[in-house]
Amino acid sequence: MKRKVFALLMSVLLIGAMVVGCGSKNSTDSKDTSGDASSDASQSGDLITIGFSQVGAESDWRVANTESMKSALSEENGFKLIFADAQQKQENQTKAVRDFISQEVDIIVIAPVTETGWETVLGEAKDAGIPVIIVDRMIDVSDDTLYSCWVGSDFKQEGVDAANWLVEYMDKQGTGDAEHNIVVLQGTIGSSAEIGRTQGFDETIAAHANYKILEEQTGEFTQAKGQEVMEAFLKKYDNIDVVIAQNDNMAFGAIDALKAAGKTPGKDVTIVSFDAVKAAFESMIAGDMNVSVECNPLHGPRVSELAKKLMAGESVEKIQYVDEGVYPAETAEKELPNRQY
Amino acid sequence: MNRKKIKHITKYRLFWPIVCLILVLLFNLIKTPTFFKVSINSNGVLYGYIIDIINRSSELIILAVGMTLCVASSAGTDISVGATMAVAGAVCCSILGSGEAYNAPYFVGILGALLVAVLCGAWNGFLVAKLKIQPMVATLILFTAGRGIAQLITGGNILYIKVDNFKYLGSTLPHVPVPTPIFVAIGVVILTYLLLKKTALNMYIQSVGINSKASRLLGLNSTLIIFLTYMFCGLCAGIAGVIATSRIYSIDANNVGLNLELDAILAVALGGNSLGGGKFSLAGSVIGAITIQALSTSLYAMGVSADQLPVYKAVVVILIVTLQSPEFKKFVNHQKQKRVEKIGEKVA
């Protein structure tokens, strides 16, 4: 009994210490920022304080996105950025947004982990009078006045672009009328990128009867899962000749699985990928990948422009697409030096 | 006579774990007739579902071995092994660097990773053995902080290793038909087995797990033994982390070994080991680990989406754990006895 009570006490203490630890860290953070903000305010007038809740660092794309935001929202450009990494958990994001509200930031920027479950916390932000900019993934709320605008990619268009490229490529190879068997490595089910890319690709490819989708399965946007799922695909079907990977990391995993199975990715099997990160260009130059449809992560400049407009009280367009391209392997060599991420 | 034999077999420790594994495999055979086909593909590498299962379960086997000893000695679980894997991977990749050649010799990277993993284990061991904090709570610290530490080491980026021979550990060595992780897993199991059997450690751990106070009175250093098992668990997590990192030749601190600590604990439980400490069976844990991976791989083969996998896993695990629970066995025995009595009554 005594031991049990002691253990309970210890665990309560420990958890308490952790909570206090986190709390104190946050409060010093906010102290820092408020201190900085006031000192800066006295020096250079008014910095716009932005709280940015990022998904995490799950892929190169995400890292580039974070970099772009950090460099565009710098102090030289008139911003004070408070950055919060949510480590792929929505709870962490909700907490971060509440922290931002209590720190009285000027604008909240969220790159949401999932589409749903945002009503309550965004309602709190709205009540506090803080405008919210959503980047990358879309959110699904019944009341769209909860956020000011959304900046991101047209995922459905990316899916359509990929399908069109594939059909054109096969025509060029002279196998446009032959039967093609496709497997799809989807992203995290329910994410905007997965929904948009799947929809765009499926709808476009459905118009061509000789293109058959054997199976769609999620690889959760990671290389390890992509590899594991591709291994299972390869054992199940022996006639796969096209792999659609909804991000580059899964494509790398699929390429490894194909090589391990004794196939030649890029030749026997056409690899279509999304995101177009730097490593994808290297893979294309090596001849493993055939095409990557760009998903531009450089949201920073657009967000900074929007933030300034919002602070000036101007109205902004609700949906803001960033510019994106399609990069087949033959353009890789030329394009690689221009890639920032 | 026959009945006695059956009874003897069912009493055997590993009977139920093996039955479970066979059931999962049998189900596969019915669903996917080509399940047991193993061939050599054009790369000269063994190829087939079975190879996939054993290959993919290597990390889990290694983790389960470490976890078994932790559970046996302290009646508690180390829930930080997944995070320790991430830390080990991060250390390995940051030492070796992402250039065209290694920044440091290959073995220095591996050694560094293992050393840090052992340190993580030692930290857990210190909290559990010396400060007598409940294992779950003590390891919760690294569970939450570990991935953060890994992110700090990698600077929040995914680090790629571009040197080709880094992949060997996670895939296959040239001209060897069997994936390397399988060798590593077998090596870890055999070494651990020898270490336990050739020394008195096996008995020490069991005796500390059954009653640490009595063991201390007998002259065993309970604290040291518990500390050592946690350190060993850290080492196992380190090895698993390096393999997982080598598989994708990069470190992804957020996803390496994610939720694997739960699978490892499950493997120990599925192997028929009591989570209350004391007696343990390494072989049971290994079979448990393979069962879990067999389940995942067969669900992939049946086209179950990866995000729904946990649900199916949970259902099967409930079934398996129920089958192995003493209460259920008692219930079955009771029913049997009733039937015997009824027959007896009728005869009378």
pLDDT of residue A32: 41
CATH for B44-325 (1.10.10, 1.10.3470, 2.20.25, 1.10.260): 1.10.3470
pLDDT of residue A233: 92
pLDDT of residue A184: 96
pLDDT of residue B302: 80
Q: Does domain A155-295 have CATH number 3.40.50.261?
A: no
Distance between A217 CA and the closest CA of chain B, angstroms: 6
Encode pLDDT of A138-147 as tens digits.
Answer: 888 888 899 9
Encode pLDDT of B285-331 as tens digits.
Answer: 999 999 999 988 888 878 787 777 788 878 877 877 787 777 887 88
Which of A63, A88, A232 lies closest to B300 in CB terms? A232
Q: Do A10 and B255 touch (CB under 8 A)?
A: no
By the CB < 8 Å criterion, does A4 face chain B? Answer: no
Task: Flag whether pLDDT at B157 surpasses 80.
Answer: no
Task: Flag whether pLDDT at A82 surpasses 90.
Answer: yes
Bridge-partner residues for A80, per DSSP? A49
pLDDT of residue B347: 74
Which has more confidence, A46 or A196? A196
Residues in chain A within 8 Å Cβ distance of B93: none
Whole-Å CA distances, A105 to A50, A83, A87, A131: 6, 12, 22, 10
Lowest mean pLDDT among B8-12, B106-110, B223-227: B8-12
**Residue range(s) occupied by CATH 3.40.50.2300 in chain A:** 47-153+299-323, 155-295
Neighbouring C-beta atoms of residue B68, cutoff 10 Å: 29
Whole-Å CA distances, B56 to A182, B176, B249: 25, 17, 16
Which of A15, A232, A252 lies closest to B301 in CB terms? A232
Which has more confidence, B275 or A118? A118
Residue A1: band (very low, low, confident or very high) from pLDDT cuts 50, 70, 90: low
pLDDT of residue B16: 80
Lowest mean pLDDT among A119-128, A245-254, B337-346: B337-346
pLDDT of residue B12: 76
| Domain assignments of chain B as residue spans, ordered by start | 44-325
Mean per-residue pLDDT for A152-173? 94
Residue A15: band (very low, low, confident or very high) from pLDDT cuts 50, 70, 90: low
Task: Flag whether pLDDT at A316 surpasses 50.
Answer: yes
Determine what percent of chain B is predicted with pLDDT higher than 70: 98
Encode pLDDT of B14-71 as tens digits.
Answer: 888 888 889 888 888 888 888 888 888 888 888 888 899 999 999 999 999 999 999 9
Q: Return the structure tokens found at B137.
A: 């709570």
ipTM of the complex: 0.82
Q: Mutual orientation of helices B106-125 and B81-96 as an angle, nearest 10°?
A: 150
Task: Flag whether pLDDT at B204 surpasses 90.
Answer: yes
Neighbouring C-beta atoms of residue A161, cutoff 10 Å: 22
CATH for A47-153+299-323 (3.30.750.210, 3.90.1490.10, 3.40.50.2300, 3.40.50.720): 3.40.50.2300
Encode pLDDT of B76-94 as tens digits.
Answer: 999 999 999 999 999 999 9
Amino acid at the residue A195: I
Tell me, yes or no, if the pTM score tops 0.95. Answer: no
pLDDT of residue A21: 45
Neighbouring C-beta atoms of residue B199, cutoff 10 Å: 10
pLDDT of residue B230: 97
Do the strands B39-40 and B46-47 form a parallel or antiparallel pair, or are they unpaired? antiparallel
Q: Do B254 and A88 touch (CB under 8 A)?
A: yes
User: Chain A neighbours among B 294-323 (CB < 8 Å)?
Assistant: 297, 300-301, 303, 305-307
According to DSSP H, which parts of B162-278 are helical? Answer: 180-198, 201-210, 212-217, 222-247, 260-270
Encode pLDDT of A234-269 as tens digits.
Answer: 988 999 999 999 999 999 999 999 998 989 999 999
Encode pLDDT of B272-282 as tens digits.
Answer: 888 888 889 99
